[in-house]
Amino acid sequence: MNRIDRAFKRLRASGGKAFIPYIMAGDPNIETTMERVLMLEECGADIIELGVPFSDPVADGPTIQRAAERAIKAGVSLKRMLSFMTELRKRSQVPIIFMTYYNPVFKYGEENFIEDAAAAGVDGMIIPDLPPEEAGGLIKECHAKGINTIFLVAPTSTAERMKVIAFASRGFIYYVSMTGITGSKLSPEEQFRGHLGRLKELTGRPVAIGFGISNPDDARNMAAFADGVIVGSAIVRKFHEDPGGAREFIKKLREAI
């Protein structure tokens, strides 16, 4: 069983909610990333999203974009991240999702990449610039190799679109808490409460909420009506600006969820 599915199964049994932190791999370097992944696991992360840097991250805000610039400078690429995963799997079985963009995958070769990623122990894939309509080949490869494909539902998504996305997704569905990019400010929750409810009616899969969750209070609010909460920019910022305070911040997020 895929590690992500196992995590949600465990949480469902215990009534808990998934805490899914995001960090940019290679920011500031790959050695630190290894330490931070282990630290996130230790602090209670259920699943970890690893950003694999790309030069043109159109779905990300400035915080993650600048982190990606630093990571590229540090020499981190998709290829480098696969050897990282092989190392990590000797030390940890925490579920790992790669979040990257389509061009690095295309350049690597879709089929080869999925095969190598599965062998290295990657559990899930988020490629925000690849809509499900264009992802047929990748979805097939991933599912054949036991990797979950996770697609994003936006507050503007129609019921019809939510069906397409739910059908293409495995593991969980990523619900974007607002229209926009990662790290933006939150919109009033009632705006998406109803919409999220419709999504839950359409699918039996877990739904995790991300984008714009910047503190434990946000995380607590979101956790109330989802199966998991994804925190990205706020953690990336904390690690960059105040690495010493990061552990405390992450623990508080965990407690809130």
Partner 1 sequence: MPALLELEAEYAKAKKDRSFLDELELLQKTYIGRPTALYFAKRLTEYLGGAKIYLKREDLAHTGAHKINNAIGQALLAKKMGKKRVIAETGAGQHGVATATGAALVGLECEIYMGSIDIKRQALNVFRMKLLGAKVNEVSIGSQTLKDAINESMRDWTTNVRTTHYVLGTVFGPHPFPSMVRDFQAVIGKEAKRQILKAEGRLPDCLIACVGGGSNAMGLFNEFLADNIRMIGVEAGGRGIEGGQHAARFAGGSIGVLQGCKTYLLQDEDGNVLETHSVSAGLDYASVGPQHAFFKDAGRVEYTYAVDDEAMAAFELLSRTEGIIPALESAHAIAEAAKVAPKMSGDKIIIVNLSGRGDKDVQQVAKIKGIEIC
Given the residues 27, 41, 60, 116, the one annotated as active site: 60
From the CB of 139, what's the least distance to partner 1, in Å? 16
134 carries an active-site annotation:
no
d(CA 184, CA 35): 27
d(CA 174, CA 151): 6
From residue 39, alpha-carbon distances to 49, 71, 198 in Å are: 14, 19, 36
Beta-sheet strands, E only, within the chain = 18-24, 48-51, 96-99, 124-126, 148-149, 152-153, 173-176, 207-210, 228-231
Q: Which is nearer to partner 1, 44 or 180 (CB)?
A: 180
Given the residues 27, 49, 123, 227, the one annotated as active site: 49
Q: How many CB atoms lie within 10 A of CB 222?
A: 27
> Which position has the token pair 């159109």?
58
Q: Which is nearer to partner 1, 21 or 61 (CB)?
A: 61
Kindly state the tokens that stand for 148: 């979950």
From the CB of 255, what's the least distance to partner 1, in Å? 31
Q: Which is nearer to partner 1, 54 or 249 (CB)?
A: 54
227 carries an active-site annotation:
no
Which residues sit opposite 97 in a β-bridge? 49, 124
Cα 180–chain centre separation? 16
Q: Which is nearer to partner 1, 124 or 132 (CB)?
A: 132
From the CB of 193, what's the least distance to partner 1, in Å? 18
Contact in structure between 18 and 208 (CB atoms under 8 Å): yes
Strands 152-153 and 148-149: unpaired
From the CB of 8, what's the least distance to partner 1, in Å? 26
Nearest to 6 by CA among 38, 33, 46, 37: 46
From the CB of 61, what's the least distance to partner 1, in Å? 7
Q: Which is nearer to partner 1, 108 or 239 (CB)?
A: 108
Contact positions toward partner 1, by CB under 8 A? 53-59, 61-62, 65-66, 69, 72, 77-79, 102-108, 129, 131, 133, 154, 156-158, 161, 178-181, 184
Catalytic residues: 49, 60
